[in-house]
């Protein structure tokens, strides 16, 4: 069985280590956990891993957030991966820093990456992991906050949450969305 693990973010040094790139950070940690690395592929950087006979194809779209759907559709088709085996990892302002919420399907929640994916693959029926980035910004400064870099305190707080995210991804692959939700959404 194959699984597509999609970390959403924006490419380029100006976006590295920003809150909006938490998806990239998560899949980088996953690849590091498996002692592999990303290679340049079509529409995305790609890393391949094997977990108990299952193949994980992790991607970081190179299309920028608003066009993430193109990369997701391409890799789903190229690798023949069903929507049930897709996990998209995104940042979420509505959740406290480091909070993890896995859902089996749902709306875009106003997230441009999810909007693109839903429109392009024409379904909302794919798993998504929302990682809280908090919302500690003054009115009118949401974009600056989301595209801002992590503070030292935030980085320190996120390290164990990213480690938990890697375990959550493995659980998604091994026991499925529902059982993984029951275990991790309560933590």
Tokens of 60: 């970081």
Annotation says 20 is catalytic: yes
Contacts of 35 (CB under 8 A, 6+ apart): none
Tokens of 27: 């899949």
- CB atoms inside a 10 Å sphere around CB 119: 11
- Report the C-alpha dihedral over residues 120, 103, 168, 183, rounded to 10 degrees: -170
Tokens of 23: 């998806």
Of the candidates 123, 85, 91, 121, the one whose C-alpha atom is nearest the C-alpha of residue 107 is 123
Tokens of 1: 């069985």
Provide DSSP, 65-112: GGGHHHHHHHHHHHHT--GGGEEEEEEETTS-TT-EEEESS---TT-H
- Phi, psi (deg, nearest 5) at residue 35: 55, 45
**Active-site position among 20, 60, 70, 170:** 20
Give me the active site residues, please: 20
């Amino acid at each position: 069985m194959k699984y597509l693990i999609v970390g959403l973010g924006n490419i380029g040094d100006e976006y590295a280590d920003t809150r909006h790139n938490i998806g990239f950070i998560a899949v980088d940690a996953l690849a590091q956990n498996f002692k592999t690395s990303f290679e340049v592929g079509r529409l995305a950087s790609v890393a391949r891993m094997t977990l108990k006979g299952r193949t994980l194809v992790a991607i970081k779209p190179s299309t920028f957030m608003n066009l993430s759907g193109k990369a997701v559709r391409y890799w789903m088709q190229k690798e023949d991966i069903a929507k049930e085996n897709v996990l998209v990892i995104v940042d979420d302002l509505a959740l406290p820093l480091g909070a993890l919420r896995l859902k089996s399907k749902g709306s875009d929640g106003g997230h441009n990456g999810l909007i693109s994916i839903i429109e392009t693959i024409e379904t909302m029926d794919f798993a998504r992991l929302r990682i809280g980035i908090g919302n500690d910004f003054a009115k009118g400064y949401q974009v600056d906050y989301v595209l801002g870099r992590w503070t030292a305190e935030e980085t320190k707080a996120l390290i164990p949450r990213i480690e938990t995210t890697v375990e959550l991804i493995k659980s998604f692959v091994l026991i499925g969305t529902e059982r993984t939700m029951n275990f991790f959404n309560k933590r």
